[in-house]
Chain A
Amino acid sequence: MMQEIKQDARIAPSLPVISETKMGVEELDLFYGEFQALKDVTLDFPKNEVTALIGPSGCGKSTLLKALNRMNDLVDGCRVDGLVSLDGDDIYRDVPVNDLRRRVGMVFQQPNPFPMSIYDNIAFGPRTHGIKGKAELDVIVEQSLRDAAIWDEVKDRLKKSALGLSGGQQQRLCIARALAVQPEVLLLDESTSALDPISTAKIEDLVVEFASKYTVIMVTHNMLQALRVSTKTAFFLLGEMVEAGDTDELFTHPKDSRTADYVSGRFG
């Protein structure tokens, strides 16, 4: 915590508000078998802000994202050293994994609606966590779809298969599905990279709105997207976190020459 305050003061001295940390990573090493995918990463994610993780392919940014809700557990031979915390609790020791994943929702790169109706897609999460009443579910489904700005497009076909939607609609459905379990943190793993520009813009607008309610952490290949949407940015290279700070600052006055090269488009 102390370190975080110091860092903030150093990078953005003009900011009067010191934001609260929602999730934090300390001295994180992550291995896939012999390969070290993350090297000694320390980074805080401030509450109710959008943090973008940028860097070239294979730099570890998606790996870090998946460490935050333990989706890396599914990978054979994945080993994690160091601390990952949510509200100060160690997520690998003190938080049951299914609670963690409810509180830290995730939207994937490819839209992955379940092969069932739109309604059942959204209701799956709440049902998982014990909500059975039809009336209650109806309210959650409508609210989630509204929050993901897709209600008007699907309200007349809730019982139809979600696989009939367009790619952009499917991705917003997946966002609604993630919102339906009332997460505190939302992880977006290049969630617009498979979409057309119009769908991308819709999702970017959503993410900006979400910042008032959720802590958003997004991996993106698109630097303009990071600029448009995020308030904090961290730059990764070969498993190391090179630099992190306010997005505007990092893009206009990068401290590290490698960051400068990347954001000016010299590689990656």
Chain B
Amino acid sequence: MLFTLAAAISILAVALICVFLFANGLPAMFQIGIPEFLLGTTWKPGSDMYGIFPMIVGSIYVTAGAILVGVPAGILTAIYLSRFAGSRVASVLRPGIELLAGIPSVVYGFFGLMVLVPFIRATMPGRGLSLLAASMLLGIMILPTVITVAKNALDAVPKSYYEGALALGATRERAVFRILVPAAFSGIMAAVVLGVGRAIGETMAVVMVAGNQPVMPNSIFEGVRTMTANIVMEMGYAADLHRGALIATGVVLFVFIMLISLLFSAIKKRGEER
């Protein structure tokens, strides 16, 4: 009974969030016009223009950048931890990764603001507050997720596959990339998808380093505003349709997250069938 109740609370919470989001967001979306809202490129609440396309693109760009930075490093680290690291190295690395997962995102943001942004400003064009800064920072932030999930997938591959490859005279690298990684492929994809979910939903750290101009970025050195940043920056003073448009931004974000979650389950299911 107690267990059922506890489980019911989380379901109830999801349902309430859903109802709140859609009840408040959809009317605003209809009032603005769905094509104008989703595909409009001008966000000017003062003139009642609510096009969030730059923010959708911004979220996608920033997430893609984070994947480019974080996924290769994360997967290589997972392989290293799963197969090559001696127990002494692993005993340092594993708590380090756990710590990385526990750092509050505002602290990541500070790090980005004080270290990454000045570095980019000094060595590259633009003001530093940029798509590049946000991508690099998010790339680091998704590392623990990617590493943990990918490592679990790699650990689940029977040791005998790896040994079989070595026994044929394959190098460790060939055994890893031709046998181990393909065998863990669905789990590694799941790691990537979870990383995407983490990156697309991240708010605080991104707001602090991304510049947040609500326009389409033309290069990775320009500022960019994500959907999450859009909501958190304007919610404090927004009213009426402006407020509704921000909640509708949340609806779009919610749909993105839901799609990612569906993709994750599909990949997991495929992995289990194999």
Hey, which bits of chain A sit against chain B, CB under 8 A? Answer: 69, 71, 74, 76, 98-102, 105-106, 108, 110, 112-116, 124-125, 128-129, 174, 177-178, 181
Contact = CB atoms under 8 A, between A and B. Distances in A.
A112 B169 contact: no
Contact of B169 (A110, A114, A125): A125
A108 B164 contact: yes
A102 B168 contact: yes
B158 A181 contact: no
A97 B167 CA distance: 10
The dominant DSSP class at the B interface is helix
B169 A98 contact: yes
Contact of B183 (A98, A115, A177): A115
Contact of B179 (A106, A114, A178): A114
29 contacts: A69-B167, A71-B166, A74-B163, A74-B166, A76-B87, A101-B166, A101-B169, A102-B168, A102-B169, A105-B167, A105-B168, A106-B167, A108-B160, A108-B167, A110-B160, A112-B158, A112-B164, A114-B161, A115-B161, A115-B182, A115-B183, A116-B182, A124-B179, A125-B170, A128-B169, A174-B164, A177-B168, A178-B167, A181-B169
Interface in B151-178: 158, 160-161, 163-171, 174, 178
Given A115-B274, A128-B174, 8 more contacts: A74-B163, A100-B169, A101-B166, A101-B168, A102-B168, A108-B167, A112-B158, A112-B160
B86 interface: yes
Given A76-B87, A128-B174, A114 B183 contact: yes
A108 B160 CA distance: 9
Interface residues of B, number: 20
Contact of B168 (A74, A113, A115, A181): A181
B161 A112 contact: yes
Given A76-B86, A114-B183, A115-B183, A71 B170 contact: no
Interface of B: 86-87, 158, 160-161, 163-171, 174, 178-179, 182-183, 274
Contacts of A125: 168-170
A160 B160 CA distance: 20
A177 B178 CA distance: 15
A102 to B, nearest CB: 4
Contacts of B169: 98-102, 125, 128-129, 181
A129 B160 CA distance: 20
B168 A124 contact: yes
B24 to A, nearest CB: 49
A106 B164 CA distance: 8
Contacts of A129: 169
Nearest to B174: A128
A115 B182 CA distance: 9
Contacts of B183: 114-115
Nearest to B175: A128
Contacts of B86: 76
